[in-house]
Amino acid sequence: MIMKLDFASSVPIYQQVRDQIVQAIADEIFKDGDRLPTVRALAQEAGINTMTVNKAYQLLKQEGYIITDRRNGAMVCSQKKMKNGISEELKESFRLIIAEAKIAGVKEEELLTLCQKLYRREKL
């Protein structure tokens, strides 16, 4: 798995790792039951500390994207798929993004078109 990390970003590295793994799951690069690289292997490949990868994996586990065990390591979990509807946390994130878009003068149709393109992973 090739990580594209921005060390100059204000977004913490562990969050960038987490976000890229979530995106890979959404894009079905990682499917239910797939094993993720070991903490050590991913840290070495990305050139970051193992504690940073461990923190990202712990966050993914808390959020239900992966499960971990000592024998099999970290594996993608379908638990997120089984939850019905959109979580309150995700709704709040959408509310904030929509508010920021409104303030910036983005029209509803433009926002919906952008959402559709992003959801379909089309080029912008």
Kindly tell me the sign of the dihedral angle through the C-alpha atoms of 29, 30, 34, 40: positive
CATH T-level fold of 13-82: Arc Repressor Mutant, subunit A (1.10.10)
Backbone phi and psi for residue 98, each to the nearest 5 degrees, phi listed first:
-65, -40
pLDDT tens digits along 66-107: 999 888 899 998 665 555 667 788 899 999 999 999 999 999
- pLDDT score of 37 more than 90: yes
The model's pTM is: 0.79
Q: Give dist(CA 5, CA 103) in Å, integer.
A: 30
Domain boundaries, the chain: 13-82, 88-119
